[in-house]
Structure 1
Amino acid sequence: MHTTVEKLAAPHAGRRAAGEDPAKREQILDGAKRVFMEQGFEAASMNDITRAAGVSKGTIYVYFENKEDLFGYMIERERSRITETVRHALDGNKEITETLADFGMLFATHMTSDQTIRAMRMVIAANHRLPMLCSRFFSATPINPVSVLQEYLDRQVAAGIVACEDTVQAAKQFIELTTVGLFKPRIFGSMEEVPPRGAIERNVTSAIRVFLAAYGTKPSRPAAGE
């Protein structure tokens, strides 16, 4: 009896250990991303993903419960990547207009890209059957573009550069302004091509102007050498 228990326990211990391999996890997510982007969520199968990832189906189930779980984690990984990218734009001691321009360009370019639009359309299309997947896609994670911009705005408030009581709301407003007139036409198909960089730049420039008109304190520039 003791031997039987050991035999049954061993595979589970192995599965737990295998599930902690970050390189294998990334390999699976990379394969899943290629399949989802090419075929869409509904058409993609776990067999397709195993082939694209170069792993067995059993290995996939060590890391992810099912296709929905795998898609959700893929979306979270992509969101984490863009969050880290825009976070770097908020580092340093540049003037607020330049910093917001860098942040806005990165965010708006990402949100109007073909890859992001396809991913969002996939989630919306699956919402009637898998409402929890859609909720997971749009739910706020602890670290996201809004939260990192809010942290930056908090620093600007402390420095007297921005006057704002609700930096979370202000961060959301600026983010919306960077994609106004671009994101909805993209997601609903009236704008089939990725907007040119010039169009995004004009959008972001306008967003900064409106944002600072509402919240900017227009501080005086320090004298040279101060």
Structure 2
Amino acid sequence: MDDSKCSARHAAGADPAKRGQILAGAKRVFMERGFDAAGVNDICRAAGVSKSTLYIYFDGKEDLFESMVEEERAKRFENVTSILSSDDPTVEVLHRYGCAVVSIVCSDEVVKAQRIIIGIAERMPALGARFFTGGAMRSQTALATYLRSAVASGQLAIPDVPRAAAQFLELSTATLWKPRLFGQRTVAPAPHEIEAAVTSAVTLFMAAYKVAKSA
């Protein structure tokens, strides 16, 4: 079937299946070649669409890359933020959230995307800023909302909640994420390594912010 013929049920550029097909092709090319070496023609071949069809759905390579990152991020974090809606003890919620986030940010595909962004951030700072806002800041914001509830209920005493949220995520990824990002670790950390790192992070975090019980 000619890829330029959109389904009669969808207006031009509104077929989710076609959009997903293009993004799947773009993902293969970007992950294999990086941003600079990936060409629109390469992406069209990988996706099995014409260039005219691609431009109905996306403005160009930068739009494609951002859309691909956002779609992958949405898939990966779909169930992660729901952890923070639990009524379980704060220690358990933080532990589960930390483990989930670390597993994602240390995964092969996410590390590859991070390296691509770092490589182009100097000449495309706006793209780098949007990547950070949509990723790291989203995780911190969700955690900050949870921490505010814990403060309001008297479980935690935190003078600067956004800072504390960032601190917890930094503590959780310590010894794991940067070695992955810079290639010292060539494979994702094992579950027991993530558990150990996050357990240490929770211990330190609670030592700093847990409300002391009255004698």
Indicate the residue corresponding to 1:72 in structure 2: 66
Distance in 2, matches of 1:141 and 1:193, equals 21
The structural deviation recorded for 1:150 is 1.2
The structural deviation recorded for 1:103 is 0.5
Q: Compared with structure 1, are the counterparts of its residues 43 and 161 closer, same or farther at alpha carbon in structure 2 (3 Å cutoff)?
A: same
Is the Cα–Cα contact under 8 Å of residues 80 and 144 in structure 1 kept in the other structure? no
The match for 1:105 among 88, 99, 110 is 99
The match for 2:169 among 171, 175, 180 is 175
Indicate the residue corresponding to 2:27 in structure 1: 33
The structural deviation recorded for 1:78 is 2.4
Residue 55 in 1 paired to residue 38 in 2? no
Letter in 1 for 2:52: G
Moved more, 157-166 or 196-205: 157-166
After superposition, the C-alpha distances for 1:108-131 in whole angstroms (9 at most, x for unaligned) are: 011111111111111112234433
After the TM superposition, which residues 200-211 of structure 1 pair with which residues of structure 2 at under 5 Å, given as runs? Answer: 200-211=194-205
State the identity %.
47
Distance in 1, matches of 2:136 and 2:115, equals 24
Distance in 1, matches of 2:24 and 2:137, equals 22
Q: Which protein shows a greater Rg?
A: 1
Indicate the residue corresponding to 2:208 in structure 1: 214
Indicate the residue corresponding to 2:154 in structure 1: 160
Q: Compared with structure 1, are the counterparts of its residues 171 and 108 closer, same or farther at alpha carbon in structure 2 (3 Å cutoff)?
A: same
Task: Supply the RMSD in Å over aligned alpha carbons.
Answer: 2.4
Moved more, 50-59 or 170-179: 50-59
The match for 1:130 among 124, 128, 152 is 124
Distance in 1, matches of 2:210 and 2:22, equals 45
Structure 1: gaps of 5 or more residues: 1-13, 221-226
Is the Cα–Cα contact under 8 Å of residues 121 and 187 in structure 1 kept in the other structure? yes
